[in-house]
Structure 1
Amino acid sequence: MLLVEEADYNLLGRDLIVALGINLIVRNSQIMVSIYKLTREDEDKINPKVWHTGKEAGKLVMEPISIEIERPEDPIRIRQYPIPLEGRRGLKPIIEDLIRKGILEPLKKPDGSYRLVQDLREVNKRTRSRYPVVPNPYTLLSKVPPQHQWFSVVDLKDAFWACPLAKESRDIFAFEWEDPKTGRKQQLRSTKLPQGFTESPNLFGQALEKILQAFSTPPRIQIIQYVDDLLLSGEDEVEVREATIKLLNFLGEKGLRVSKGKLQFVEPEVKYPGHLISKGSRRLSPERIAGILSLPPPPSKREIRKLLGLLGYCRLRIERYTQTVKFLYEKLTEGHNKKWTKEDDDKLEKLKLKLASIPALSLPSLEKPFHLYVNVEKGVAHGVLVQEWGGVKRPVAYLSKMLDPVSHGWPVCIQAIAATAILLEESRNLTFGGKLIVCTPHAVRNELNQKDEKWLTDSRILKYEAILIDSDDLTLEVLLTTEAAIRTKERRWIHASKIKGPVDEPKEWTITSEPGDTKLTLKRGLGGNELGRPKWSKKHTQDHT
């Protein structure tokens, strides 16, 4: 076989490679081989009706779904957009295929006249939304045990069309179709849950979740659902293979169809959803990163919101995310005459560079304690959630949140209370009640015990106490940052970069940005073992290294 990177096709040996289902991936001047592992022996164990063939649509045996809209007595009257002849010719076989499969059906009034056309976007605006149960993609992958090393991904084909619509709800999705050959106009309506409907992911997700409750998941196998994509994981390759085959047969019996070409069958690394998942690690797929990096500067506020939506998908992976994208939020609050500047271009390029160098994050383990390092700077709470693996602390997520406007006027030591509480609540979505050790450069619990009513209202004190004091699984530690220096009565100035991990609380110690600057001195209280209230000192040290 001959491989030429610059060539569109590598002809020598290509037919055999395709026949064997082998993918060759060139990465960092190295060739990676990916082999389609669904063997003939495996296929013989799978009911063939689960595969999507294009001849028929899936069909779930379930109660038809009813859709409620606001002001049903007021019809949604939207004129049908004109479709050119060439476009109608291309759509004709698709429309006919959907009618043949029963996904669409002709619609007429009892008197034979046609109904008014309805725009699906207008239907979305008028639909009474149900409580969303679609999993949060930011925290979904945290449920994958880090010791799992074999994965399968099952992609359900045209899953929404497997859910029947109640007859009284079908008229909501009516539209007009003109046959390009005969010129005959006809009203069609959907009999199944339509694609593009804002409630479809939520409604199908609930239906699939209910169906999966009847599936007997093997003890050492984890199944995660995100809308119509299923991820199976386990430690043993054979167990994952058997569980995947069992799940495919179960889905086929329930009336769902699976895309055979998109099936990722028992792989050490899989893509799900938009992430590359492997043992103990998850990272954004190169395609998703490349898509964001290729975006041009947003010309309007609408495009800025789209960009923020894409970046928000990566927020757990971007250190100091809130501070980094702050300029984009500021552009949204500016007047209409404000234009995109060269300075904005530079900030966007720096943001893209951060995206290009995003590290792989560790999958959280509930069997190990979490460490949350928190700091506050310019009214923004920054933090990193880590766990120790092999003696090295690996990041699980980068967290950042803007403090509310009221807390911007507080002293930094009081802001640290709010920052710690905010990021602690954020981290709960990833720790799932596991033991958490919070490390900050401030004695936040001691500050909170002072009940400083000058800055904190009673409601805030109660809120922060519930989060920071009344948590049995929480440990608070004072940690020196790498920018600080420490002095005690027993030692001279020592830069914090030489100090590893939390330090024991001394009788007296001082934090300063640099030796010689204004210092923050903390002393033990006279009546107890806790550190007293921090006091600012204007003294300059002369004794330092």
Structure 2
Amino acid sequence: MSPFNTPILPIKKADGSYQLVHDLREINKRTVAHFPVVANPYTLLSRLGPKKQYYSVIDLKDAFWACPLDEKSKDYFAFEWEDPVTHRRQQLRWTVLPQGFTESPNLFGQALEQILQEYQTGEGVTLIQYVDDLLIAGETEDKVRAESIRLLNFLSAKELKVSKAKLQFIEEEVKYLGHYLRKGEKKIDPERVKGILSIPPPKSKKQIRQLLSLMGYCRQWIKNYSTKVKFLYEKLSQGGLVKWDEKDDKHLKALQHDLVNAPVLSLPDLKRPFYLFVNTDSGTVYRVLTQEWAGKKKPVGYLSKLLDPVSRGWPTCLQALVACALLVEEANKITFNGELRVLSPHNIRGILQQKAEKWITDARLLKYEGILLDSPKLTLEVRALQNPAQFLYGKPSEDGLAHECLSTIEEQTKIRPDLDEEELEEGDKLFVDGSSRVINEKRVSGYAIVAGERLAVIESGPLSGFWSAQACELYAVLRALQLLKDKSGTIYTDSKYAYEIIHTFGKIWEERELINSQGKNLIHQDLIRKLLKALRGPKKMAVVHLKGHQKGLDFKSRGNNAADQEARRAALQTSQSTPRKIRRLKEKSVRLAEGICKRYIALLCKKKRK
């Protein structure tokens, strides 16, 4: 007898009959699953090619039962059985891999793969395995017939059974892994589409995830899929219960319409070059992968992705760079790193080599360069195409569509066109710095502005003890800009944060009303707003970044160190400059806390006396 026992449940089948199913959910919960070494159906069919015209599909019968269970594991799969005639109850155990066990497909798939390593396919024929489903494809009927018979005999010799009811033997159109294959093309199984259409609007997050899982299997056929399911992902990120309205119904119906009218896709030919059109729209990456046949571009697959929150905050041309890298990675799963020509309205190579370092971290930059520049079979081309339809069905009028990415990035990121990153020959030279540190368990903050060859202190003072170092540095730059109003001059700062706001992120943040890419308010929002406004005050100006704490006697090092020392000195006055309102609030809080403690102690004493 086994100490374990799980129930047998009757499950109604489509034909009205019942099937007994062993409920192994509790066993599955306690099973540490192995990594699933199973072929990816998304890329599996890329091995076929469009020249294969005949197919055979072989489905193994009771496949899992061909794998014996280890003696130590048999007790886990025990169940109670009542004889329908004698009504005698007894406990039985599985001696082979049971259906319903979470590891059964993975374990059997690996076992069958090892068996098939002994089998050698004939010339001009391809054999594909996905768990217990086998597909044979060939260019001629005779070759597929001979290979199918040979494979069936091989499986029989290995004591594996084949389901005669599910056998598709030498046909021009077959159903395999939820696809219909015919003459080198694939389309979605209408039964799968019908099943998805029958699902009612989701009322919970679990149902939304189930819908996304089903729709995701069909994403290759849906143009700009990520944009169209974005509303579902937004509902998953919202707190509380799911609220479904008429607008959501409209989005869902549009998605279902695209699914019903899904195009037929060509199976890829790995010996021919691929063409990948890439563009972005509203933070979504979309593309169409094609190959040329008889002078026409035939779609191999559509793919789209949502950019990450950081990338969505970048200029459009930089978003296109990320889009290109993401989609080339996805395309390589289908092309198997074959020859690929990427077409985009953006100068991807120029952006990557000249403008990317301002926005992209070294780790990301290295990754993108490896994908886009170091691939010998990858070609980047600039085309004035704006959407996949123009790419597939002919060239549009290119008047006014072309743009210069490098200058566009400059226009999108500069607060004013004459804002310089190099020092001006004329005008004032101002060194600024801010300081915020903890002394005797108390934070002190301050700022300073130093000017001229003599490095005279123009302005300095304490700031609120609640301010961070970044806030102090921003305030120092703000005051310098206000001093340069209607004048010309150069501001030197060692704050990378302030420098990047002025030269890189400021204009985009301003256009988004100081909301970040995740829809939240920026830190130091008020200071940034004043800073961006003050940038338009000077007649002519430059903001230059310096490395902090440099040892040297040159003008820039001395100026930066002088501003740093003065800011530290000014910060020591913080304790004396705490606003009166804040001091009163602190004193009131202390008195309130003392009163609560006294009342609590008095209450405890009263209870003890009782």
1:511 offset after TM fit, Å?
3.9
Give the structure 1 partner of residue 344 of structure 2. Answer: 440
1:363 maps to a residue whose letter is L
Pairing partner for 1:410 from 314, 326, 330:
314
**Partner deviation per Cα, 1:87-142 (whole Å, 9 max, x = no partner):** xxx98x979xxxxxxxxxxxxxxxxxxxxxx9611221222222212111111111
Aligned match for 2:266, one of 362, 365, 370: 362
Q: Deviations over 1:251-290 (max 9, x none)?
A: 0110011111221111111111211101220001211111
Residue deviations 1:223-251, cap 9 Å, x none? 00111111001111111101100111110
The alpha-carbon deviation at position 500 of structure 1 amounts to 2.9
Structure-2 change in CA distance of 1:295 and 1:338 (3 Å): closer
Q: Which amino acid aligns with 1:269?
A: E
The correspondence for 1:470, drawn from 374, 387, 393, is 374
Q: Which residue of 1 aligns with 2:193?
A: 289
Q: Which residue does the alignment assign to 1:528?
A: none
Give the Å deviation of 1:338: 3.4
User: Any conservation in 1 of the 2:352–2:369 contact (CA below 8 Å)?
Assistant: yes
> How big is each residue's C-alpha offset from its partner over 1:374-430, in whole Å with a ceiling of 9 and x where there is no partner?
001111111110101111101101011111111111001111111100011011110
**Corresponding residue for residue 317 of structure 1:** 221
Could you tell me how far apart the structure 2 residues matched to 1:83 and 1:360 are?
Answer: 39
1:422 is aligned to 326
Structure 2 counterpart of 1:188: 92
- For residue 103 of structure 2, the aligned residue among 194, 199, 202 is 199
Is residue 241 from structure 1 mapped to residue 136 from structure 2 by the alignment? Answer: no
SS in 2 for 1:453: helix
Seen in structure 2, the aligned counterparts of structure 1 residues 262 and 521 have a Cα distance that, compared at 3 Å, is closer
Q: Which deviates the most, 299-308 or 317-326?
A: 299-308
CA contact (8 A) 1:362 1:394 kept: yes
- For the residues of structure 2 that align with 1:81 and 1:268, how far apart are their CA atoms? 41
2:161 pairs, out of 257, 266, 291, with 257
Q: Tell me the CA shift for residue 476 of structure 1.
A: 0.1
Equivalent position of 1:211 in the other structure: 115
Structure 1 residue 157: Cα displacement: 0.7
Find the counterpart in structure 2 of residue 500 from structure 1: 395
Map 1:27-176 → 2, pairs under 5 A = 80=7, 120-176=24-80
The CA distance in 1 between the partners of 2:56 and 2:188, in whole Å, is: 18
Give SS of 1:296's match.
coil
Task: Determine the C-alpha separation between the residues in 2 that align with 1:368 and 1:76.
Answer: 60
Match of 2:285 among 358, 361, 381: 381
- Whether 1:456 and 2:351 are equivalent positions in the alignment is no
Residues 343-369 of structure 1, C-alpha deviations (whole Å, 9 max, x = no match): 111111111000000000000001110
SS at match of 2:226: helix
Q: Secondary structure at the match of 2:357?
A: coil
Identical aligned residues as a percent: 54
Could you give the per-residue CA deviations for residues 146-202 of structure 1, whole angstroms, max 9, x where no partner exists?
101011111111101111111111111112223354443321111111111111111
| C-alpha distance in 2 between matches for 1:181 and 1:496 | 70
- Residue type at the aligned position of 1:150: Y
Q: Indicate how the Cα distance of structure 1 residues 415 and 428 shifts in structure 2: closer, same or farther if over 3 A, else same.
A: same
**Greater C-alpha Rg:** 2
How many Å separate the matches in 2 of 1:412 and 1:76? 63
The aligned counterpart of 1:56 is: none
Kindly report which structure 2 residues correspond to 1:334-345, keeping only aligned pairs within 5 A, or say none: 334-345=238-249
Equivalent AA in structure 2 for residue 127 of structure 1: T
Bigger drift between 417-426 and 293-302 goes to 293-302
CA distance in 2, matches of 1:233, 1:132: 26
How far apart in 1 are the matches of 2:108 and 2:213?
A: 23
Cα 1:165–1:136 shift into 2, 3 Å: same
Per-residue Cα deviation, 1:42-100 (whole angstroms, up to 9, x for no partner): xxxxxxxxxxxxxxxxxxxxxxxxxxxxxxxxx9977758989xxxxx98x979xxxxx
> Where in structure 1 are there 5+ consecutive unaligned residues?
1-74, 85-89, 96-117, 485-494, 504-508, 513-519, 523-530, 539-545
AA matched with 2:357: E
1:268 equivalent among 168, 172, 177: 172
Aligned to 2:290, what secondary structure does the other structure show? strand
Q: CA deviation at 1:454?
A: 2.6
- Which residue of structure 2 lines up, in the alignment, with residue 103 of structure 1? none
State the distance in 2 between where 1:452 and 1:425 align.
19
SS across alignment from 2:276 = strand
Q: Which residue identity does 1:359 align to in structure 2? A: P
CA spacing shift, 1:498–1:347, aligned 2, 3 Å: closer
Instruction: Check whether the contact 1:451–1:461 (CA below 8 A) recurs between aligned residues.
Output: no
Letter in 2 for 1:218: G
Q: 2:251 aligned with 1:347, yes or no?
A: yes
Q: How far apart are the structure 1 equivalents of 2:147 and 2:387?
A: 51
Aligned partners of 1:466 and 1:368: how far apart in 2? 23
- After TM superposition, the score normalised by the length of structure 2 is 0.62
Distance 2:89 2:293 in 1: 66
Q: Does structure 2 retain, via aligned residues, the 8 Å contact 1:387–1:395? A: yes
Counterpart of 1:122, as a letter, is: E
CA distance in 1, matches of 2:172, 2:202: 38
TM-score using structure 1 length? 0.69
Tell me, in whole angstroms, the C-alpha distance in 2 between the residues paired with 1:262 and 1:384.
Answer: 34
Equivalent residue for 2:301?
Answer: 397
Counterpart in the other structure of 2:519: none
Cα distance in 2, alignment partners of residues 323 and 501 from structure 1? 24
User: d(CA) in 2 for partners of 1:440 and 1:388?
Assistant: 18
Question: Cα–Cα, structure 1 residues 195 and 498, in superposed 2: closer, same or farther, change >3 Å?
Answer: closer
Asked whether the 8 Å contact 1:151–1:233 carries over to 2, the reply is yes
Distance 1:327 1:464 in 2: 29
Q: 1:501 to 1:362 in 2, by over 3 A?
A: farther
CA distance in 2, matches of 1:435, 1:349: 38
Q: Name which of 210, 233, 252 aligns with 1:306.
A: 210
User: 2:127 aligned with 1:227, yes or no?
Assistant: no
2:420 corresponds to:
none
Alignment-mate amino acid for residue 172 of structure 1: Y
RMSD between aligned residues: 3.0
Matched, 1:329 2:248: no
Letter of the 1:161 partner, please give it.
W
**Displacement after TM superposition at 1:216 (Å):** 2.3
Instruction: Tell me which amino acid in the other structure corresponds to 1:322.
Output: S
1:447 corresponds to which letter in structure 2?
I
1:449–1:257 Cα change, 3 Å:
same
Residues 375, 161 of structure 1: alpha-carbon distance in 2 compared, 3 angstrom cutoff: same
SS of 1:476 mapped into structure 2: strand
Q: How many residues align?
A: 406
Contact 2:226–2:284 (CA under 8 A) maintained in structure 1: yes
Cα separation, partners in 2 of 1:437 and 1:83, compared to 1, 3 Å: closer
Return the alpha-carbon distance in structure 2 between the equivalents of residues 242 and 521 of structure 1.
59
